[in-house]
Every structure is written in C-alpha cells, then in structure tokens.
C-alpha cells in the first residue's frame, strides 16, 4: 500500500470573512503528481499555502505523512526544520519568492536557514545552478532577470533543498513557450515517483504530461477528480469549474456553430 503524503479532511479557510476553502477533502499519495485545476480564486493557492504549513485551517485537519499539521506542531524546531526540508513551495509570483540581493544568495537562503555547513551550501548551490542551467546568472540581482529566468531561479531556490514534496503554484503561468517547455520537461522528469508534486494550474494543454491525477476545484470545494484524460473529457465538469467556456468559432470552411470543447493534440 502506498503511503499518503497529504491527507486533507474537511478543511475550511477564510480570508477576512470571505471563504476561500469550504469543507475541502483530498488525498495525495507519495510519489504521485497531482494537478489542482480551477479558475482564478477557486482556492488552489490557498490550499498550497495550507499544505506548506504557512496558514492553518479554521476547521478540518491536514496531515503530512500521518502527522497533523498545526501551528503548535510547527513551533517545534525539529519538526519545523524537518518539514521545511521535505516540503518546498514555489510561489506564483516569482517577485515574492526572490527576496535576496543575488541569485546565489537566493539559492543559499534555504540551506542557511536550515543551518547547513557553509562548504556544503556552496557545493549544493553550485550543483543546482548548473543543473537548472542558471550558473551564468549567479551574481545577477533579481531585478535584472527576465520573467522566465525568475521562474527558474524560484524553482531552483526550492530544489536546492531537494524536497520530497514540491508544491508549485502556476509554474508555467505567463511564460514564453521555451521557458514553459523547460518547466514541463522538469515535471515530466518527476514522473518516476522520485518526488511528490502538487501543481496548481489552469493550463489544460500540458495536463497529461505533468500530472498523474487531477482535482478540479470550484468554490473552495472539490468538484471532480480523475486522471487527466477523464477530466479533459468531462466537458460538463470543466464548464462548471469555469475552466472552459462554450464559444463559437469556425472549423475549416464550415458553418459557425457554438459548441464547447477542449483543444488537445494527440500523440504529444
């Protein structure tokens, strides 16, 4: 039996009186790649922050590897460092994640806080810089990076700790096709079960490559669950979650005919 990485049970969370999550339940197994689908404001980012132990649910419970994730539990230094080492979150807004003066400092930040010895930090940071193909940027200040470079550095700043669980908030949002392909390639490389990956996205095009299983969110609740193919064929569900919209367009030289559908390219 595969162990559960995260077990989310009946979780509710509010931002200033506005409900973001509304009795949401879901499970993620170790080594699984799960996509969270949903329109803007459907609670994906909130859930990722709860999973990363940055906010805590008002009702319900979240467990990580069987251990309950609460504010008190994270006060414990040993558990805190252990958890941070194993769970990494890449924020949607790279500007928020890149707060250090240079790329090198950015990558060194996590290991430094986790009190790794300095020589080990230098070695590991160098390794990740090369692996992510950003070694030439190491002395660059964040305001001197392009959007795609920022995303790569943000991802690298989390990968430097080699976490077992990666939480990604729209990793390929607003990127050019080549930068997007790099991120997708990386996610494909995680398919062997080496990492548990949870990705919040509303990009349906790459779904089959990056995820083994999907949850569809609507109004702070799970509206549907299944493999990427099952979800992509459930037009009614996608429409309800506002991920697609019936629209009119022309096929070939045919008539204009309103019909909902999902664009996919077979065999990719």
Partner 1 sequence: MLRETMHIPDGYLSPSTCVSLAAAAAPFWYVALKRVKSAFDARLIPLISLFAAFSFVIMMFNLPLPGGTTGHAVGMGVASIVLGPWASILAISIALTIQAVFFGDGGITAIGANCFNMAIAGSLVGYATYRLVAWRAGLGSARRVVAAGLAGYTAINVAALCAAIEFGIQPLLFHDASGAPLYAPYPLRIAIPAMMLGHLTLAGLAELVISSGMVAYLQRTDPGLLRLTAPDAPVSDDRSLTVAARTVAARTVAVRQMPTARKLWLALAALLILTPLGILAVGSAWGEWSARDFSDPQMRREIAAASRNHAPPPAAPRGLERLSSIWTAPLSRYAPSFIRGAAFGYLVSAMVGVGVIIVLALLLNWVLARLPAAAGRRRRKSFVEKTARGLLEATGHALFAEDMAATSGFLQRLDPRVKLAGIGALIVAAVAVHRLWVLAGILALGIVLAVVSHIPIRLLTARVWLAVLAFTGVIALPAVFLTPGAPVWRLPLLEWPVTQQGLRSAGFLILRAETAATLAMLLILTTLWTRLLRAVRYFRAPVVVVAILGMTYRYMFLFLATARDMFESRESRIVGVLQPGDRRRLAAASAGVLLGKTLQVSGEVHMAMQARGFRGEIRLLDELQMRPNDWLRLAAFVGAATLAVWLGR
Give the nearer residue to partner 1 in terms of CB position, either 113 or 189. 113
How near is the Cβ of 77 to partner 1 at its closest, in Å? Answer: 8
d(CA 266, CA 268): 6
- Closer of 142 and 228 to partner 1 (Cβ): 142
> Do 157 and 110 touch, CB atoms closer than 8 A?
yes
Tell me how many degrees the CA angle 79-85-91 measures, rounded to the nearest 5: 115
CA dihedral over 169, 171, 176, 181, signed as positive or negative:
negative
CB–CB of 171/9 below 8 Å? Answer: no
Helix or strand run (H / E) with residue 45 = helix 44-51
Closest separation in Å from C-beta 178 to partner 1: 24
Contact by Cβ (8 Å): 23, 12: yes
Cα 140 to Cα 119: distance, rounded to the nearest angstrom: 21
Shortest reach from residue 41's CB to partner 1, in Å = 15
Would you say the C-alpha torsion 226, 34, 212, 171 has a positive or negative sign? positive
The pair of structure tokens assigned to 21 is 């999550």
Residues interacting with partner 1, by CB under 8 A? 17, 49, 52, 54, 77, 80-81, 84-85, 88-89, 91, 93, 95-102, 105, 108-110, 112-115, 118, 121, 139, 141-144, 157-158, 161
How far apart are CB 108 and partner 1 at their closest, in Å? 5
Rank residues 54 and 229 by Cβ distance to partner 1 and give the closer one: 54
CA angle 75, 77, 79 (to 5 degrees): 85
CB nearer to partner 1: give 143 or 263.
143
Nearest residue (CB) to partner 1, 21 versus 237: 21
Between 7 and 105, name the residue whose CB sits nearer to partner 1.
Answer: 105
Name the maximum alpha-carbon separation found in the chain: 68
Write down the least CB distance from residue 97 to partner 1, Å. Answer: 5
Of 48 and 216, the one with the shorter C-beta distance to partner 1 is 48
CB of 3 to partner 1, least distance (A): 23
Backbone angles phi, psi at 253, to 5 degrees: -110, 25
Min CB(199)–partner 1 separation in Å: 16
């Amino acid at each position: 039996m595969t162990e559960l990485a995260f077990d989310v049970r009946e979780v509710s969370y509010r931002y200033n009186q506005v409900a973001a999550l509304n009795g949401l339940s879901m499970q993620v197994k170790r080594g699984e790649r799960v996509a969270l689908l949903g329109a803007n404001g459907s609670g994906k980012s909130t859930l990722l922050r709860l999973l990363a132990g940055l906010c805590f649910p008002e009702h319900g419970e979240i467990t990580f590897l069987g251990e309950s994730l609460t504010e008190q539990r994270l006060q414990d230094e040993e558990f805190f460092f252990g958890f941070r080492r194993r769970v990494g979150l890449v924020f949607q807004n790279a500007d928020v994640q890149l707060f250090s003066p240079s790329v090198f400092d950015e990558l060194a930040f996590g290991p430094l806080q986790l009190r790794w010895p300095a020589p080990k930090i230098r070695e590991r940071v160098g390794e990740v810089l090369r692996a992510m193909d950003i070694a030439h940027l190491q002395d660059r200040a964040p305001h001197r990076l392009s959007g795609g470079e920022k995303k790569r550095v943000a991802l690298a700043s989390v990968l430097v700790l080699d976490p077992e669980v990666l939480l990604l908030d729209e990793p390929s949002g607003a990127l050019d096709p080549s930068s997007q392909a790099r991120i997708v390639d990386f996610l494909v490389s995680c398919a062997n079960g080496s990492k548990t990956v949870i990705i919040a996205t509303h990009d349906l095009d790459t779904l089959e490559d990056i995820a083994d299983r999907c949850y569809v969110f609507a109004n702070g609740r799970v509206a549907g669950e299944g493999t990427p193919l099952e979800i992509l064929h459930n037009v009614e569900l996608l429409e309800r979650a506002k991920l697609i919209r019936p629209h009119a367009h022309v096929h070939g030289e045919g008539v204009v005919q309103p019909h909902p559908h999902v664009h996919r390219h077979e065999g990719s």
